[in-house]
Structure 1
Amino acid sequence: MTTTTTITVAAIATALAFGLIANHLRRRRLTNDDDDDEASVSDLISPLETLAVLLVAFVIVVAAESYGAAATAVEAEASRVDQLYEVADYAPEPQRERLQAAAVCYSRAIRAAEWPLMAEGGAKSPMASVWSTDFRRHFKELAHKGDATFSLLVEADDERSKARQTRISEASPAIPSFVYWFMVVALAATVGAFAFGLPRKRGPSHLILLCVLAALFTGSLLLIEDIDNPFSGRIRITNEAMREAAEDISEDFATDHPTSTLPCDADGQRTTT
Structure 2
Amino acid sequence: MTMTVTMIITVAAIATALAVGLIAHHLRRRRHNGDEDAEVSVSDLISPLETLAVLLVAFVIVVAAESYGAAAAAVEAEAGRVDQLYEVADYAPEPQRERLQAAAVCYSRAIETAEWPLMAEGGAKSPVASVWSTDFRRHFKELAHQGDPTFPLLVQADDERSKARQTRISEASPAIPSFVYWFMVVALAATVGAFAFGLPRDRRPSHLVLLFVLAGLFTGSLLLIEDIDSPFSGRIRITDEVMGGAADDIAEDFAADHPATTLPCDEGGNRTAT
Question: What's the CA shift for 1:35?
Answer: 1.0
* Residues 41-80 of structure 1: pairs in structure 2 closer than 5 A: 41-80=42-81
Residues in 2 aligned to 1:24 and 1:17: alpha-carbon distance in whole angstroms? 11
TM-score (norm 2): 0.99
Give per-residue Cα distances to partners, 1:127-146, cap 9 Å, x unaligned.
Answer: 00000000000000000000
Question: What's the CA shift for 1:93?
Answer: 0.3
Equivalent residue, structure 2, for 1:100:
101
For the pair 1:18 / 2:3, whether they are aligned, the reply is no
Equivalent residue, structure 2, for 1:136:
137
Give per-residue Cα distances to partners, 1:100-153, cap 9 Å, x unaligned.
Answer: 000000000000000000000000000000000000000000000000000000
* Residues 67-216 of structure 1: pairs in structure 2 closer than 5 A: 67-216=68-217
Corresponding letter in the other structure for 1:210: L
| Deviant stretches of 4+, over 4 Å | none
Residues in 1 aligned to 2:250 and 2:15: alpha-carbon distance in whole angstroms? 52
Number of positions where the alignment pairs a residue of Structure 1 with one of Structure 2: 272
* Residues 1-12 of structure 1: pairs in structure 2 closer than 5 A: 2-12=4-14
Residues in 1 aligned to 2:259 and 2:9: alpha-carbon distance in whole angstroms? 57
Question: What's the CA shift for 1:34?
Answer: 1.3
Corresponding letter in the other structure for 1:39: V
Corresponding letter in the other structure for 2:153: L
Identical pairs, percent: 86
Give per-residue Cα distances to partners, 1:88-108, cap 9 Å, x unaligned.
Answer: 000000000000000000000
Equivalent residue, structure 1, for 2:245:
244
Corresponding letter in the other structure for 1:91: A
- Consecutive unaligned residues of structure 2, counting only runs of 5 or more, are none
Question: What's the CA shift for 1:74?
Answer: 0.1
Corresponding letter in the other structure for 1:199: P
Question: What's the CA shift for 1:27?
Answer: 0.6
* Secondary structure at 1:85 match in 2: helix
Residues in 1 aligned to 2:237 and 2:203: alpha-carbon distance in whole angstroms? 42
Corresponding letter in the other structure for 1:8: T
Residues in 2 aligned to 1:167 and 1:34: alpha-carbon distance in whole angstroms? 59
- Consecutive unaligned residues of structure 1, counting only runs of 5 or more, are none
TM-score (norm 1): 0.99
* Secondary structure at 2:262 match in 1: coil
Residues in 2 aligned to 1:251 and 1:222: alpha-carbon distance in whole angstroms? 41
Corresponding letter in the other structure for 1:162: K
Corresponding letter in the other structure for 1:4: T
Question: What's the CA shift for 1:168?
Answer: 0.1
Question: What's the CA shift for 1:234?
Answer: 0.4
Equivalent residue, structure 1, for 2:224:
223
